[in-house]
Amino acid sequence: MVMEEMEKARETHILGRGDYRNLGEKVQPGVPSSLPPLPAGAPANRLSLAGWLCDPSHPLTARVAVNRYWQMYFGHGIVKTAEDFGSQGEAPVHAELLDWLATEFVQTGWDIKRMQRLIVTSAAYRQSSHVTPELVEKDPENRLLARGPRFRLPAEMVRDNALAASGLLNGEIGGPSVSPYQPAGLWEEMGRPGDVFSAQTYTPSTGKDLYRRSMYTFWKRTVPPPSLATFDAPDREKCTARRALTNTPLQALVLMNDPTYVEAARSLAQRTLLEADSSPAKRIQFAFRQATGRKPSAEEVQLLSSLAQKQVALYRKDKQRASELIHVGESPSNAKLNPSELAAWTVVASSILNLDETITKE
């Protein structure tokens, strides 16, 4: 890493076909001619470049930043091609809004948290996501913001959401990377025998590190975390400004069977049995509210109550299966709870965590 410039800058050339031996035209540090120049008299170094990027008069930096924030909340930016503001990109659908957000961002001291609050408290964001056939016909992608945003959560948030609803999430900020659960043998399969420098074996974290937010997950680019990749997390081989959102059977299998989600379901079931009223309806309302933020309908309560009743009967007959289910994951199951009942409500909690509504931002 360069901490300061060399006293005498080295010469830089365009390399023909990228060959370091094929020196072409000599070039100097500078900025694109289509944008404002560096300040007069400023040295052409990294510090000047940083100042130039964050200059209030710069026409792009603040616009690109607020467009990315908007994309996070609405599923698409005001400029849809968030990675390309050039002539090949798409024009903004609300140019005045983009300009206003950019100038507001600069005038408030580039305050990122303030900008997030501004967006989520806006009338545009707080609209209902309910859609009518007429709106779908006129604006299928909701580019004109006639309704609130609705899209599946990003991969990391799908996992974090399940951990938060279950009460397992460790919200500590900062610190080293962690290694959540993943299928055994993946790193070994892709590793090179005898190579001690490229993370040949995967050892899951223990204790509270298992439940840290997904942004702290240790990432090996040749073997990305499979549960995150299934939910369209980029492989980090290249920069990705816009993620694709897919809907595949693999995602449902991850939510039903991955130890992270089975353990989260069991933890949510424990909370339900310990904190909610003893009636099945009250328990379902409690678990449902933790996962979706709303109360279930009468039909949903009836369906889940029937599921709970059937699962209790099943696990009372097969206590071994009940024990296996409630011991998935490192966190201890509550010994005071009946294993068959806890296993049955784990299935109910898993069903709730698997709802499309649970993993959808709307």
DSSP assigned state of 359 = T
Burial of 180 (0-12, 13-18, 19+ CB in 10 A): buried
Query: d(Cα 341, Cα 343) in Å, to the nearest integer?
Result: 5
3-state helix, strand, coil split of the chain in percent (to 5) is 45, 5, 50
**What pLDDT sits at residue 73?**
95
**What pLDDT sits at residue 257?**
95
**What pLDDT sits at residue 188?**
84
Element spanning 208, H or E: none
**Alpha-carbon separation of residue 196 from 178, 184, 214, 276, 350 (angstroms):** 19, 19, 26, 50, 39
Query: d(Cα 27, Cα 34) in Å, to the nearest integer?
Result: 18
Extents of the domains making up the chain = 12-53, 61-138, 255-328+335-361
Q: What angle do CA 332, 333, 334 make, to 5 degrees?
A: 115
Complete DSSP assignment for 11-78? PEEEEGGG-TTSEEEEE-----TTSPPPPTT--SSHHHHHHHHT-TT-SSHHHHHHHHHHHHHHSS-S
Give the 3-state secondary structure of residue 170.
strand
- From the list 228, 180, 224, the residue with the least C-alpha distance to 329 is 180
**What pLDDT sits at residue 44?**
87
Query: d(Cα 96, Cα 98) in Å, to the nearest integer?
Result: 5
Query: Which mean pLDDT values do the consecutive 10-residue runs of the chain (362 residues) have?
Result: 77 94 93 90 90 93 97 95 92 96 96 97 94 92 92 96 96 94 88 69 92 94 91 89 92 96 97 93 96 94 96 95 95 93 97 96 88
- From the list 249, 204, 211, 205, the residue with the least C-alpha distance to 230 is 249
Element spanning 360, H or E: strand 360-361
**AA identity, residue 225:** P
Query: d(Cα 197, Cα 288) in Å, to the nearest integer?
Result: 46
**What pLDDT sits at residue 222?**
85
- From the list 266, 263, 257, the residue with the least C-alpha distance to 227 is 257
Close Cβ partners of 2 (under 8 Å, ≥ 6 residues apart): 46
Radius of gyration of the chain (CA): 26
